Structure 1
Amino acid sequence: MTGLLGNHFVTQIGILVNDVEKVSAAYAAFFGLEQPEIVVTDTAELAQTRYNGSKTEARAKLAFFDMGSLQLELIEPDHQPSTWRDYLNEHGEGPHHIAFVIEGMQEKIMLLEGKGFALQQKGEYTGGRYAYMDTFKELKVLVELLENDK
């Protein structure tokens, strides 16, 4: 059985934080790793970010730790409307999503929406695109779809 995504391998765990520099330093010290470079998401023109169906200027500071087969993503959102900001305000710091690499983004979004999981936020990044699906009620975390260009 392949499930809804055609893939059950978790690629990434996303964690929302108020201070990405401080928390990434703590992770680096805890695991004995180098502190990663903090990157900022693309501007709205490039990212084409949409949140709950509307354009948003939302950006975030990110830090990525490669932990073997799994990537840990720390996310410090700005104060523009986004899944990151609303989730952080509502739930506080902590897990936001588990991500899976998929193929056929539009088809997967439509499939999940048909199962009652609403598209919450989507956007582009260099080399691909992402979509957050609202699976919180059932899975207690959001699911992020990642589609990388070939």
Structure 2
Amino acid sequence: MAGLLGNNVITQIGILVHDIDKVSQAYADFFGIPKPEAMLTDAADTAQTEFMGAPSPARAKLAFIDMGSLQLELIEPDEHPSTWRNYLDEHGEGPHHIAFVIEGMKEKIMLLEGKGFPLQQKGEYTGGRYAYIDTIPQLKVLVELLEND
């Protein structure tokens, strides 16, 4: 079970959208649930976002929908360079990542990079940090690592 992450439980599926309010309402209507409130990711000074090894001011509107054992994350990126913006421009709306909760972020990133899975984007959020690993050639979707304090 250990694998590369030490955890094989998908905690989240991230979906890129052009209009988060419209798509949030569609999910609410489809599943008969309250429409999730969208929130804006932290500004660059807090988020410390890095994309392809360089600082980026990129932000995104996020909406979270709890679906039993996992969470759907709707993501509407701003115009700045990011994994979200690039993927949306290249592939259109739809699935972006599957996320796993891990421990030891720096070590996991180094391990994965050593196995040929490069870090694409990382940043901080209140209560933890995230990293997107480029697993697309092999897994056909990005893997997001989540480490909560």
Point out where structure 2 has 5 or more consecutive residues left out of the alignment: none
Query: What residue in structure 2 maps to residue 60 of structure 1?
Result: 60
Q: Does residue 75 of structure 2 align to residue 75 of structure 1?
A: yes
Correspondences of 1:129-148 after superposition (within 5 Å): 129-148=129-148
Q: In the alignment, which residue of structure 1 is the partner of 2:13?
A: 13
TM-score (norm 1): 0.99
> What SS does the aligned partner of 1:137 have?
helix
1:116 maps to what in 2?
A: 116
Letter paired with 1:80:
H
Superposition pairs of residues 17-96 of structure 1, within 5 angstroms: 17-96=17-96
* Count of paired positions: 149
Query: How much has 1:15 moved relative to structure 2?
Result: 0.2
Please report how far the alpha carbon of residue 58 of structure 1 lies from its aligned counterpart in structure 2 after TM superposition.
0.1
CA distance in 2, matches of 1:28, 1:73: 13
Moved segments of 4+, more than 6 Å = none
Q: CA RMSD in A?
A: 0.4
* CA offset digits 1:17-72 (Å, max 9, x no partner): 00000001000110111001110000000000000000000000000000111000
d(CA) in 2 for partners of 1:94 and 1:56?
23
Q: What is the percent sequence identity of the aligned residues?
A: 76
Distance 1:144 1:115 in 2: 16
In structure 1, runs of 5+ residues without a counterpart are none
